[in-house]
Chain A
Amino acid sequence: MPGAQIEARGLAKSFQAPVLEDVSFQVRPGRSLALVGPSGCGKTTILHILAGLISGDSGQVELSPKEAGRSLVMQDHGLFPWKNAARNLELPLILAGLAPGERKGRVAAMLQSMGLAGLERRYPSQMSGGQRQRLALGRALIGRPDLLILDEPFSAIDAITRETLQELLVSLWKGLGLTIVLATHSIDEAIFLGDQVLVLGGRPTRILSSLDNPVAGLDRDQNLPAIMELAARVRQALAARV
């Protein structure tokens, strides 16, 4: 999986009121983009446009290659409570038309790589928040996408589990060469996970600042000064609009 390239130009979207206005960005293959901004600023709308769930009122998103696979991890994980872990993982493969034998093998492998081996028969309601998030991540990855879209993936998880999952995501990102776009309202998370950090704000939402981040995915303790400096720039960009 080489990762997809994204070119978003002039995205705008209104629901009852204008939500987005002139949002443009580019993500190179295998890189990650973190959208950071206050709750309700339209991050989810951008992600849903990227995932193809809704379309913008104007502007366009171009993926390269055109047939690039994309997967979305929803804010509240979007797992189906009536399906156990294995069945949740299997669903994208069923929709892709894979044969049962191949599905079984891929589900077993994904359970293993997500650290969920032995939990295949558990229902989401019987799993911890961290396990559910691993499952949602596994379900998004099992179709081998080129672009992984995550909507505040770790917001409802305790701090220690969150760090573990963030590191898991970094290792998947680097290991698989995926392109990642994620939304978060945590500045720390945006800096740890995004090669490029897009600060969003205003009404309707626009891009307030676009910051290159050389320390994404790197050891937090060793890069503390750079992280702090970047965090200060993000805060400044956010504060300028408030």
Chain B
Amino acid sequence: MPRRILRLALPVGFSILMWQISALLLGPRLLPGPLAVALDFFSCLGDRAFLKDFSASALRAGAGIALALAIPFPLGLAMGASRRLDALLSPIVFLTYPIPKVLLLPILLVLLGMGEAPKILLVAVTVGYQVLVVTRDSVLSLDPRFLDSFQSLWPRGREAHSKSFRRLMLVWHVLGPAALPSAATSVRLASGTAVAVLFMAESFATQRGLGYVIIDAWGLMDLPRMFSGILAMGLLGAFFYSLANLAERRLVPGGNA
């Protein structure tokens, strides 16, 4: 345990030290020191308005990520399981995949207005594309012995079951759990990008959220507050990263290979 603490404390301590040296060199008007930011951050934790901003961002990121799993994960499974659906959707997915999703923000704002929907949807699209592609690929690259094994478990009279029931069972018992770890990994990897696009979405067209806090503090040259906002957004990303990690271990404790 002390070793683990040491392993964490060393790089964190080193970063703080570098930060402090840079702050001394640049001066507090360009870069506030870690202590000033820490004091501001702790005062923020007792500030109701800041907490509201934090929870607004957390809810948007959470809803976006939830949406990114709710639709793209089953769709990715379906594309992996059905050659016909894959042939239909793959070209569209792979043509649009390289487009930076943040470019959709103005379109979403025009279509959906200034409310919560465009912000949540932007996070959902950013994370969802990755979940979709990774899920589809992990179904397609599934070790065929699992498929053989599953086919061998049907009882005699298996012809009695409809094709769609058999496919549903395959997805539920084999393809879904086999693809879950990859989907969780893609959420984990996309969590940083999700928070980044959320910052973009919150930096205008709203007065709630950590993106707004950061941009507002920047405009007022309130640098400690700006850094507190950045720190809070970083923590938000780290939270979703850890949550995906935990979900992966909880949902598929035995692994998938």
Contacts and interface: CB of A to CB of B under 8 A. Distances in A.
Interface stretch (B15-23, B147-155, B208-216, B232-240): B147-155
B91 interface: no
A215 interface: no
B155 A96 contact: yes
Nearest to B152: A72
Given A83-B177, A96-B155, A48 B148 contact: yes
Given A80-B174, A123-B253, 5 more contacts: A51-B152, A81-B254, A82-B180, A82-B253, A83-B254
Contacts of A83: 173, 177, 254
B92 interface: no
B83 interface: no
B193 to A, nearest CB: 27
A68 B169 CA distance: 23
Contacts of A69: 155-156
B145 A124 contact: no
- List of 4 A-B pairs having minimum Cβ-Cβ separation, nearest first: A123-B254, A78-B149, A82-B177, A72-B152
Contacts of A80: 146, 149-150, 173-174, 177
A71 B254 contact: no
A78 B152 contact: yes
Query: What interface size band does chain B fall in?
Result: 20 to 34
B50 to A, nearest CB: 42
A92 B155 contact: yes
Label chain A's interface by main secondary structure: loop
Interface in B175-194: 177-178, 180
B254 A53 contact: no
A91 B156 CA distance: 14
A143 B155 contact: yes
A24 interface: no
A84 B254 contact: yes
Contacts of B146: 78, 80
Given A74-B148, A76-B145, A91-B173, A82 B156 contact: no
B252 A78 contact: no
Q: Which of B145, B151, B153, B174: most chain A Cβ within 10 A?
A: B153
B153 A70 contact: no
A94 B118 CA distance: 43
A70 B153 CA distance: 9
Interface string B224-255: 00000000000000000000000000001111
Given A80-B146, A124-B254, A125-B254, A95 B169 contact: yes
A82 B152 contact: no
23 contacts: A48-B148, A67-B156, A70-B156, A74-B145, A74-B148, A74-B152, A76-B145, A78-B145, A78-B148, A80-B174, A82-B178, A82-B180, A82-B253, A83-B254, A84-B254, A92-B153, A92-B154, A94-B173, A95-B169, A96-B155, A123-B253, A123-B255, A139-B153
A96 B157 CA distance: 9
Q: Which of B148, B174, B255: most chain A Cβ within 10 A?
A: B148
Contacts of B148: 48, 53, 74, 78
Contacts of A94: 169, 173
Interface in B136-167: 145-146, 148-158
B256 interface: yes
Nearest to B160: A97
A91 B149 CA distance: 11
B155 to A, nearest CB: 4
Interface string A175-208: 0000000000000000000000000000000000
Contacts of B150: 80
A85 to B, nearest CB: 10
B5 interface: no
